[in-house]
Amino acid sequence: MMGTRAAAARGAHSARVLGIVVGFGVLAGAWWVLVLVGASARGAELGASARYLAFPLALLLGLGIGRLGARRAGGGAGVLIPAAAASAALVLLLVPLYANAQAAAGVQLVALSGLMLRGVRARSRPPSSADGGAVPRPERVALLTLALCAVTVVLGVLLAVRSQAAAILLLPVAAAAVLPAVGAGRRTGSVRAVAVAGLGAIAAAIAAVLLLARAETWPRELRETESLSYARHSLWSDALLLWSAHPLTGAGPGAFYDYSATARSEEHLRAVHSSILQVGSEFGLLGALLLLVVLAAGVLLAARGDPGPALLGIAAWSALAVHSMIDHLYEFPVVVILAGLVVGWAGARPPRPTGPPIPTALPQAPSPAKSPSDACSGQQSHRGSRGGGQPLRGEFSERSRPRLSREVPPRS
Protein backbone atom coordinates (compact mmCIF):
# COMPACT_ATOMS: atom_id res chain seq x y z
CA MET A 1 0.00 0.00 0.00
CA MET A 2 2.76 2.42 0.95
CA GLY A 3 4.69 1.49 -2.18
CA THR A 4 1.64 2.32 -4.29
CA ARG A 5 1.25 5.70 -2.60
CA ALA A 6 4.93 6.51 -3.03
CA ALA A 7 4.79 5.57 -6.71
CA ALA A 8 1.67 7.70 -7.16
CA ALA A 9 3.35 10.66 -5.44
CA ARG A 10 6.43 10.32 -7.62
CA GLY A 11 4.24 10.05 -10.70
CA ALA A 12 2.26 13.17 -9.78
CA HIS A 13 5.47 15.12 -9.12
CA SER A 14 6.95 14.00 -12.44
CA ALA A 15 3.76 15.03 -14.22
CA ARG A 16 3.88 18.49 -12.63
CA VAL A 17 7.53 18.95 -13.55
CA LEU A 18 6.83 17.78 -17.09
CA GLY A 19 3.91 20.19 -17.36
CA ILE A 20 6.06 23.10 -16.22
CA VAL A 21 8.85 22.21 -18.64
CA VAL A 22 6.41 21.79 -21.53
CA GLY A 23 4.62 25.05 -20.69
CA PHE A 24 7.76 27.16 -20.58
CA GLY A 25 9.08 25.29 -23.62
CA VAL A 26 5.97 26.28 -25.58
CA LEU A 27 6.38 29.90 -24.49
CA ALA A 28 10.05 29.85 -25.44
CA GLY A 29 9.26 28.33 -28.83
CA ALA A 30 6.57 30.93 -29.54
CA TRP A 31 8.97 33.70 -28.51
CA TRP A 32 11.72 32.41 -30.79
CA VAL A 33 9.33 32.09 -33.73
CA LEU A 34 8.14 35.66 -33.20
CA VAL A 35 11.70 36.99 -33.03
CA LEU A 36 12.95 35.07 -36.06
CA VAL A 37 9.93 35.97 -38.18
CA GLY A 38 10.29 39.63 -37.24
CA ALA A 39 14.01 39.61 -37.99
CA SER A 40 13.42 37.92 -41.35
CA ALA A 41 10.68 40.37 -42.35
CA ARG A 42 12.88 43.35 -41.54
CA GLY A 43 16.09 41.83 -42.82
CA ALA A 44 17.77 42.51 -39.48
CA GLU A 45 21.14 41.11 -38.54
CA LEU A 46 21.47 38.37 -35.96
CA GLY A 47 23.07 40.78 -33.48
CA ALA A 48 19.85 42.77 -33.23
CA SER A 49 17.94 39.60 -32.32
CA ALA A 50 20.52 38.01 -30.03
CA ARG A 51 19.27 39.64 -26.83
CA TYR A 52 15.74 38.47 -27.55
CA LEU A 53 16.82 34.95 -28.45
CA ALA A 54 18.91 34.65 -25.26
CA PHE A 55 16.03 35.59 -22.94
CA PRO A 56 14.19 32.20 -22.96
CA LEU A 57 17.44 30.26 -22.71
CA ALA A 58 18.57 32.22 -19.66
CA LEU A 59 15.16 31.87 -18.02
CA LEU A 60 14.95 28.11 -18.58
CA LEU A 61 18.50 27.67 -17.31
CA GLY A 62 17.69 29.56 -14.13
CA LEU A 63 14.48 27.60 -13.58
CA GLY A 64 16.30 24.30 -13.91
CA ILE A 65 19.08 25.27 -11.51
CA GLY A 66 16.56 26.62 -9.01
CA ARG A 67 14.44 23.48 -8.92
CA LEU A 68 17.52 21.30 -8.64
CA GLY A 69 18.93 23.46 -5.84
CA ALA A 70 15.68 23.34 -3.88
CA ARG A 71 15.67 19.55 -3.89
CA ARG A 72 19.36 19.31 -2.95
CA ALA A 73 19.32 21.99 -0.26
CA GLY A 74 20.98 20.98 2.98
CA GLY A 75 22.98 18.11 1.54
CA GLY A 76 26.68 17.98 0.84
CA ALA A 77 26.14 19.23 -2.72
CA GLY A 78 23.79 21.93 -1.46
CA VAL A 79 26.69 24.25 -0.65
CA LEU A 80 27.57 24.68 -4.34
CA ILE A 81 24.77 27.12 -5.15
CA PRO A 82 25.41 29.32 -2.04
CA ALA A 83 29.09 29.46 -2.99
CA ALA A 84 28.24 30.31 -6.60
CA ALA A 85 25.77 32.99 -5.47
CA ALA A 86 28.34 34.65 -3.20
CA SER A 87 30.93 34.54 -5.98
CA ALA A 88 28.48 36.02 -8.50
CA ALA A 89 27.60 38.83 -6.10
CA LEU A 90 31.27 39.67 -5.64
CA VAL A 91 31.94 39.64 -9.39
CA LEU A 92 28.91 41.84 -10.09
CA LEU A 93 30.09 44.28 -7.47
CA LEU A 94 33.55 44.58 -9.01
CA VAL A 95 33.05 44.39 -12.79
CA PRO A 96 31.72 47.37 -14.78
CA LEU A 97 28.10 46.79 -15.80
CA TYR A 98 24.94 48.81 -16.23
CA ALA A 99 24.20 50.06 -12.72
CA ASN A 100 20.48 49.32 -12.82
CA ALA A 101 21.15 45.77 -13.99
CA GLN A 102 23.60 45.33 -11.11
CA ALA A 103 20.95 46.62 -8.71
CA ALA A 104 18.27 44.29 -10.09
CA ALA A 105 20.64 41.35 -9.77
CA GLY A 106 21.33 42.38 -6.18
CA VAL A 107 17.62 42.19 -5.31
CA GLN A 108 17.42 38.69 -6.78
CA LEU A 109 20.53 37.63 -4.87
CA VAL A 110 18.99 38.79 -1.60
CA ALA A 111 15.84 36.79 -2.37
CA LEU A 112 17.91 33.75 -3.34
CA SER A 113 19.79 33.96 -0.05
CA GLY A 114 16.49 33.93 1.82
CA LEU A 115 15.40 30.82 -0.05
CA MET A 116 18.70 29.08 0.61
CA LEU A 117 18.50 29.89 4.31
CA ARG A 118 15.01 28.41 4.47
CA GLY A 119 16.20 25.35 2.58
CA VAL A 120 19.01 24.51 4.98
CA ARG A 121 18.34 21.11 6.52
CA ALA A 122 21.25 20.63 8.90
CA ARG A 123 20.22 17.17 10.08
CA SER A 124 22.90 17.59 12.70
CA ARG A 125 23.35 15.88 16.04
CA PRO A 126 25.31 16.87 19.11
CA PRO A 127 28.96 15.85 19.07
CA SER A 128 29.43 12.47 20.67
CA SER A 129 32.42 10.60 21.96
CA ALA A 130 32.65 8.83 18.61
CA ASP A 131 33.18 12.21 16.92
CA GLY A 132 35.98 13.12 19.30
CA GLY A 133 34.19 16.38 20.12
CA ALA A 134 34.25 17.52 16.46
CA VAL A 135 31.26 19.08 14.71
CA PRO A 136 29.48 16.52 12.48
CA ARG A 137 29.75 17.04 8.73
CA PRO A 138 26.06 17.93 8.09
CA GLU A 139 26.29 20.67 10.69
CA ARG A 140 29.50 21.99 9.15
CA VAL A 141 27.75 22.15 5.77
CA ALA A 142 24.86 24.06 7.33
CA LEU A 143 27.18 26.54 9.03
CA LEU A 144 29.08 27.11 5.79
CA THR A 145 25.80 27.67 3.95
CA LEU A 146 24.70 30.21 6.55
CA ALA A 147 27.98 32.09 6.23
CA LEU A 148 27.80 32.17 2.43
CA CYS A 149 24.19 33.35 2.52
CA ALA A 150 25.10 36.15 4.92
CA VAL A 151 27.88 37.29 2.58
CA THR A 152 25.49 37.17 -0.39
CA VAL A 153 22.88 39.25 1.45
CA VAL A 154 25.41 41.96 2.30
CA LEU A 155 26.78 42.09 -1.25
CA GLY A 156 23.27 41.99 -2.70
CA VAL A 157 22.19 44.98 -0.63
CA LEU A 158 25.29 46.88 -1.75
CA LEU A 159 24.33 46.14 -5.34
CA ALA A 160 20.66 47.04 -4.87
CA VAL A 161 21.33 50.50 -3.46
CA ARG A 162 23.03 51.48 -6.73
CA SER A 163 19.56 52.13 -8.12
CA GLN A 164 16.85 54.13 -6.39
CA ALA A 165 14.10 51.96 -7.86
CA ALA A 166 15.83 48.72 -6.87
CA ALA A 167 16.43 49.99 -3.34
CA ILE A 168 12.71 50.72 -2.99
CA LEU A 169 11.69 47.38 -4.49
CA LEU A 170 14.03 45.60 -2.10
CA LEU A 171 11.67 46.50 0.76
CA PRO A 172 8.77 44.20 -0.26
CA VAL A 173 11.27 41.41 -0.89
CA ALA A 174 12.65 41.85 2.63
CA ALA A 175 9.10 41.95 4.00
CA ALA A 176 8.27 38.68 2.21
CA ALA A 177 11.30 37.10 3.84
CA VAL A 178 10.29 38.28 7.32
CA LEU A 179 6.54 37.54 7.20
CA PRO A 180 6.81 33.74 7.63
CA ALA A 181 9.20 34.24 10.55
CA VAL A 182 6.54 36.17 12.47
CA GLY A 183 3.79 33.73 11.49
CA ALA A 184 1.99 36.07 9.07
CA GLY A 185 2.64 34.20 5.84
CA ARG A 186 2.26 30.50 6.54
CA ARG A 187 -1.15 29.99 4.97
CA THR A 188 -2.15 29.37 1.37
CA GLY A 189 -4.47 32.37 1.52
CA SER A 190 -1.48 34.63 2.12
CA VAL A 191 0.22 33.25 -0.99
CA ARG A 192 -2.88 33.94 -3.09
CA ALA A 193 -3.12 37.47 -1.75
CA VAL A 194 0.53 38.20 -2.48
CA ALA A 195 0.24 36.65 -5.96
CA VAL A 196 -2.74 38.87 -6.74
CA ALA A 197 -0.84 41.87 -5.36
CA GLY A 198 2.19 41.01 -7.50
CA LEU A 199 0.13 40.71 -10.67
CA GLY A 200 -1.66 43.92 -9.79
CA ALA A 201 1.63 45.75 -9.27
CA ILE A 202 2.89 44.59 -12.68
CA ALA A 203 -0.34 45.70 -14.36
CA ALA A 204 -0.25 49.07 -12.58
CA ALA A 205 3.36 49.65 -13.66
CA ILE A 206 2.49 48.88 -17.29
CA ALA A 207 -0.52 51.20 -17.20
CA ALA A 208 1.54 54.01 -15.66
CA VAL A 209 4.27 53.67 -18.29
CA LEU A 210 1.77 53.74 -21.15
CA LEU A 211 0.07 56.82 -19.71
CA LEU A 212 3.38 58.62 -19.23
CA ALA A 213 4.46 57.71 -22.76
CA ARG A 214 1.29 59.30 -24.14
CA ALA A 215 1.64 62.47 -22.08
CA GLU A 216 3.14 65.48 -23.83
CA THR A 217 4.73 66.76 -20.64
CA TRP A 218 5.44 65.12 -17.33
CA PRO A 219 4.83 66.60 -13.90
CA ARG A 220 7.76 68.53 -12.53
CA GLU A 221 8.23 66.00 -9.70
CA LEU A 222 8.87 63.24 -12.24
CA ARG A 223 11.07 65.33 -14.50
CA GLU A 224 13.39 66.17 -11.64
CA THR A 225 14.10 62.56 -10.70
CA GLU A 226 17.18 60.87 -12.11
CA SER A 227 15.39 57.70 -13.27
CA LEU A 228 12.49 59.49 -15.05
CA SER A 229 14.45 62.11 -16.95
CA TYR A 230 13.68 64.03 -20.13
CA ALA A 231 15.64 61.48 -22.17
CA ARG A 232 13.45 58.67 -20.90
CA HIS A 233 10.32 60.64 -21.73
CA SER A 234 11.57 61.08 -25.28
CA LEU A 235 12.47 57.39 -25.60
CA TRP A 236 9.08 56.26 -24.36
CA SER A 237 7.23 58.62 -26.68
CA ASP A 238 9.23 57.43 -29.69
CA ALA A 239 8.61 53.79 -28.78
CA LEU A 240 4.86 54.34 -28.45
CA LEU A 241 4.74 56.12 -31.82
CA LEU A 242 6.62 53.26 -33.47
CA TRP A 243 4.26 50.75 -31.83
CA SER A 244 1.27 52.72 -33.11
CA ALA A 245 2.66 52.52 -36.64
CA HIS A 246 3.03 48.72 -36.40
CA PRO A 247 0.41 47.71 -33.80
CA LEU A 248 0.16 43.95 -34.31
CA THR A 249 3.61 42.59 -35.14
CA GLY A 250 5.87 45.58 -34.46
CA ALA A 251 8.62 47.02 -36.63
CA GLY A 252 11.11 44.18 -36.05
CA PRO A 253 14.19 43.75 -33.85
CA GLY A 254 16.53 46.73 -33.94
CA ALA A 255 13.96 49.05 -35.50
CA PHE A 256 13.69 51.34 -32.50
CA TYR A 257 17.35 52.35 -32.68
CA ASP A 258 16.94 53.39 -36.31
CA TYR A 259 13.67 55.19 -35.60
CA SER A 260 14.57 57.27 -32.53
CA ALA A 261 17.02 60.16 -32.79
CA THR A 262 17.33 60.16 -29.00
CA ALA A 263 18.39 56.50 -29.04
CA ARG A 264 21.14 57.28 -31.54
CA SER A 265 22.39 60.31 -29.63
CA GLU A 266 24.26 58.38 -26.92
CA GLU A 267 25.27 54.77 -26.44
CA HIS A 268 23.48 54.31 -23.12
CA LEU A 269 20.20 55.53 -24.69
CA ARG A 270 20.05 52.95 -27.47
CA ALA A 271 17.32 50.97 -25.64
CA VAL A 272 13.81 52.16 -24.76
CA HIS A 273 14.44 51.73 -21.01
CA SER A 274 11.05 50.04 -20.70
CA SER A 275 10.57 46.35 -21.44
CA ILE A 276 6.91 46.63 -22.38
CA LEU A 277 7.55 49.52 -24.79
CA GLN A 278 10.70 47.90 -26.18
CA VAL A 279 8.87 44.67 -26.98
CA GLY A 280 5.75 46.47 -28.16
CA SER A 281 7.59 48.77 -30.56
CA GLU A 282 9.59 45.93 -32.15
CA PHE A 283 7.16 42.97 -31.86
CA GLY A 284 3.78 44.65 -31.50
CA LEU A 285 0.80 43.44 -29.55
CA LEU A 286 1.74 39.79 -30.07
CA GLY A 287 5.12 40.28 -28.40
CA ALA A 288 3.66 42.35 -25.57
CA LEU A 289 1.02 39.72 -24.81
CA LEU A 290 3.62 36.96 -24.89
CA LEU A 291 5.79 38.92 -22.44
CA LEU A 292 2.79 39.36 -20.12
CA VAL A 293 2.09 35.62 -20.25
CA VAL A 294 5.70 34.91 -19.22
CA LEU A 295 5.46 37.38 -16.33
CA ALA A 296 2.16 35.89 -15.12
CA ALA A 297 3.53 32.35 -15.46
CA GLY A 298 6.47 33.28 -13.24
CA VAL A 299 4.13 34.47 -10.49
CA LEU A 300 1.96 31.36 -10.74
CA LEU A 301 4.98 29.05 -10.74
CA ALA A 302 6.39 30.66 -7.60
CA ALA A 303 2.96 30.37 -5.95
CA ARG A 304 3.05 26.56 -6.33
CA GLY A 305 5.69 26.21 -3.61
CA ASP A 306 5.33 26.12 0.15
CA PRO A 307 3.98 29.38 1.62
CA GLY A 308 7.29 30.78 2.90
CA PRO A 309 9.37 30.33 -0.27
CA ALA A 310 6.38 31.19 -2.46
CA LEU A 311 5.99 34.62 -0.87
CA LEU A 312 9.66 35.38 -1.43
CA GLY A 313 9.64 34.14 -5.02
CA ILE A 314 6.52 36.12 -5.94
CA ALA A 315 7.90 39.29 -4.37
CA ALA A 316 11.28 39.01 -6.14
CA TRP A 317 9.78 38.16 -9.54
CA SER A 318 7.19 40.95 -9.32
CA ALA A 319 9.82 43.45 -8.17
CA LEU A 320 11.96 42.70 -11.23
CA ALA A 321 8.94 42.97 -13.54
CA VAL A 322 7.95 46.35 -12.10
CA HIS A 323 11.54 47.60 -12.26
CA SER A 324 11.89 46.42 -15.86
CA MET A 325 8.82 48.38 -16.90
CA ILE A 326 10.92 51.55 -16.43
CA ASP A 327 14.17 49.98 -17.62
CA HIS A 328 15.54 47.28 -19.95
CA LEU A 329 16.64 44.61 -17.46
CA TYR A 330 15.54 41.45 -19.29
CA GLU A 331 18.27 42.10 -21.84
CA PHE A 332 20.92 41.06 -19.30
CA PRO A 333 21.24 37.26 -19.07
CA VAL A 334 22.67 37.33 -15.53
CA VAL A 335 19.55 39.10 -14.27
CA VAL A 336 17.24 36.68 -16.06
CA ILE A 337 19.15 33.62 -14.82
CA LEU A 338 18.97 34.84 -11.23
CA ALA A 339 15.26 35.62 -11.54
CA GLY A 340 14.56 32.19 -13.01
CA LEU A 341 16.63 30.58 -10.27
CA VAL A 342 14.59 32.34 -7.57
CA VAL A 343 11.25 31.41 -9.14
CA GLY A 344 12.33 27.83 -9.79
CA TRP A 345 13.55 27.43 -6.21
CA ALA A 346 10.46 29.04 -4.70
CA GLY A 347 8.04 26.95 -6.75
CA ALA A 348 9.75 23.60 -6.08
CA ARG A 349 8.33 21.81 -3.08
CA PRO A 350 11.00 20.04 -1.03
CA PRO A 351 10.98 16.24 -1.28
CA ARG A 352 8.60 14.57 1.13
CA PRO A 353 9.41 11.24 2.80
CA THR A 354 7.72 8.45 0.87
CA GLY A 355 8.65 5.43 2.98
CA PRO A 356 6.51 3.72 5.60
CA PRO A 357 5.72 5.77 8.70
CA ILE A 358 8.10 5.52 11.61
CA PRO A 359 6.48 3.71 14.57
CA THR A 360 5.82 6.02 17.48
CA ALA A 361 5.27 3.36 20.18
CA LEU A 362 7.77 0.90 21.58
CA PRO A 363 7.01 -2.80 21.01
CA GLN A 364 5.28 -4.38 23.99
CA ALA A 365 6.55 -7.51 25.67
CA PRO A 366 4.43 -10.62 25.05
CA SER A 367 1.87 -11.19 27.79
CA PRO A 368 2.06 -14.43 29.82
CA ALA A 369 -0.09 -17.34 28.77
CA LYS A 370 -3.60 -17.23 30.18
CA SER A 371 -5.52 -20.10 31.68
CA PRO A 372 -8.66 -21.31 29.90
CA SER A 373 -10.84 -19.63 32.52
CA ASP A 374 -9.04 -16.26 32.08
CA ALA A 375 -9.32 -16.53 28.31
CA CYS A 376 -13.01 -17.25 28.60
CA SER A 377 -13.50 -14.27 30.91
CA GLY A 378 -11.54 -12.06 28.51
CA GLN A 379 -13.70 -13.06 25.57
CA GLN A 380 -16.85 -12.42 27.56
CA SER A 381 -15.57 -9.00 28.66
CA HIS A 382 -14.65 -8.11 25.07
CA ARG A 383 -18.09 -9.08 23.83
CA GLY A 384 -19.66 -7.16 26.64
CA SER A 385 -17.89 -3.95 25.73
CA ARG A 386 -19.06 -3.87 22.12
CA GLY A 387 -22.46 -2.48 22.79
CA GLY A 388 -21.48 1.07 23.80
CA GLY A 389 -19.55 -0.07 26.90
CA GLN A 390 -22.51 -1.91 28.52
CA PRO A 391 -22.23 -5.66 29.30
CA LEU A 392 -24.54 -7.97 27.48
CA ARG A 393 -27.10 -10.00 29.30
CA GLY A 394 -25.58 -12.87 31.27
CA GLU A 395 -22.01 -11.58 30.87
CA PHE A 396 -19.60 -10.03 33.34
CA SER A 397 -18.50 -6.42 33.09
CA GLU A 398 -14.90 -5.25 33.46
CA ARG A 399 -15.67 -4.00 36.95
CA SER A 400 -16.86 -7.46 38.05
CA ARG A 401 -13.84 -9.36 36.69
CA PRO A 402 -11.45 -8.73 39.64
CA ARG A 403 -14.14 -9.69 42.11
CA LEU A 404 -14.73 -12.97 40.28
CA SER A 405 -11.01 -13.77 40.08
CA ARG A 406 -10.62 -13.35 43.84
CA GLU A 407 -13.52 -15.73 44.48
CA VAL A 408 -11.99 -18.58 42.49
CA PRO A 409 -10.10 -20.87 44.88
CA PRO A 410 -6.43 -21.45 44.06
CA ARG A 411 -5.52 -24.64 42.30
CA SER A 412 -3.97 -27.42 44.30
Q: How far is CA 247 from CA 43, 281, 296, in A?
A: 19, 8, 22
For residue range 165-183, what is the model confidence (pLDDT) as tens digits?
A: 999 999 999 998 887 665 5
DSSP state letter for 120:
-
Q: Tell me the pLDDT band of 322, cut-offs 50, 70 and 90.
A: very high
> Which DSSP symbol is given to 369?
P
- For residue 254, count other CB atoms closer than 10 A to its CB: 21
**161 has a pLDDT exceeding 50:** yes
Query: Among 1-15, 26-40, 163-177, 365-379, where is mean pLDDT lowest?
Result: 365-379
Q: State residue 226's pLDDT score.
A: 59
Euclidean distance between CA atoms 408 and 412, whole angstroms: 12
In the chain, the amino acid numbered 334 is V
Domain boundaries, the chain: 2-82+163-347
Q: Answer whether 311's CB lies under 8 Å from 192's CB.
A: no
The pLDDT assigned to 357 comes to: 46
- Reported as a single tens digit per residue, the pLDDT across 250-265 is 998 989 999 999 999 8
- Residue of higher predicted confidence among 61 and 23: 61
